Amino acid sequence: MKRLREAWQGFKVGTWLGWQIESNWTEPFLFAIYSVIKPVAGVLILVFMYLVVAKGGLANPLFPGVFLGTTFYLYVVNVLSGISWSVHDDREHYGMLKYAYMAPMHFYGYLLGRGAAKTLIATVSVLITLAFGMGILGVPLRLHNPGLFLLAFVLGLLALSFYGILLAGISLLIARHGWVLGDVVAGALYLLCGVAYPLSLLPLPLRALGYVFPPTYWFEALRLSLLGQGLHPEFSRLSSTDLLWILGGSTALGIGLSLLVFKVSERLALRRGLLDMQTMY
């Protein structure tokens, strides 16, 4: 019970601090614009690629699935990079990681809280991008299966948060590459998880890797629930329940792995005196 209370305390503080760091560098209005421009620009790159070359332009049957994948991918970037970056940022830039670690709160909860702040920002961006897609681009979005959406959404976010914790653990041990770690992993997931094209286009070894990661099933479940159809023909034989089981199972494995990696990294960082490392990177 005490550990739970400490975890909650850490989560609350992490969320508050994360929100302040992300948002208080400017006026709320400018921050809102900033939060919208980046994701919409990312989606518009795809829109123009389709307009230039795809048969039928935005009416191409692949486009809705690609749009949805790209929009929800915003969570991947924000949550993964957000959590791992917070270790680098706190330690290297603000020199306060050791204080956060010593405080009477659960460090794990604190890191999840830092991710929650980024999730909040990503949620606003996702909602605006979805509205843009429906209103301007004519993407036929509606809730085909609310239960599937809700369960898949929560499971996916959980998986991403714990992947973020795993990367945060690795960040505790490295200095020079810590700031790109989250972005590199998020970039790899974009390539491997069939965010913007059918997985069947990838060479077999890369496709096999794509089948291992939960976000692949997450994106597909979200497509099924919001578009009524998926993007990957090889999943067409899977029912919604199958997808949820696979997503749930791979998420549980991911959580276990992240706990293990973080614990080992934490112990190593303590032993090697890395918690207050400052390398000027």
The residues binding other proteins (CB under 8 A) are 25-26, 34, 37-39, 41-42, 44-46, 48-55, 60, 62, 66, 93-94, 176-177, 180, 183-184, 187-188, 190-191, 195-198, 201-202, 280
- Shortest approach of other proteins to residue 3 CB, angstroms? 32
Give the whole-angstrom CA distance, residue 216 versus residue 92: 33
Closer CB to other proteins, residue 79 or residue 244?
79
Whether the Cβ atoms of residue 221 and residue 229 lie closer than 8 Å to each other: no
Q: Cβ of residue 203: shortest distance to other proteins, in angstroms?
A: 10
Name all contacts of 186-190 with Cβ < 8 Å and 24+ positions apart.
186/76, 186/77, 186/80, 186/81, 189/73, 189/76, 189/80, 189/213, 189/215, 190/73, 190/76
- What type of residue is 167? L
CB of 266 to other proteins, least distance (A): 24
Residues whose CB falls within 8 Å of the CB of residue 99, separated by 6 or more in sequence, listed in order:
none
**Contacts of 33 by beta carbon, 8 Å cutoff, 6+ apart:** none
Nearer to other proteins by Cβ, of 73 and 108: the residue is: 73
Question: What sign for the dihedral angle of Cα 234, 235, 238, 243?
Answer: positive
Give least dist CB 206 to other proteins, A. Answer: 9
Q: Nearest approach, Cβ of 46 to other proteins (angstroms)?
A: 7
Nearer to other proteins, 216 or 251 (CB): 216
Pick 13 or 191: Cβ nearer other proteins:
191
* Minimum distance of other proteins from residue 194's CB (angstroms): 9
Half-sphere exposure of 244 (CA within 13 A, CB side): 14
Residue among 175 and 252 whose Cβ is closer to other proteins = 175
Distances (CA, A) of 212 to 74, 193, 228, 230: 20, 9, 24, 18
| Residue nearer to other proteins on the CB measure, 37 or 212 | 37
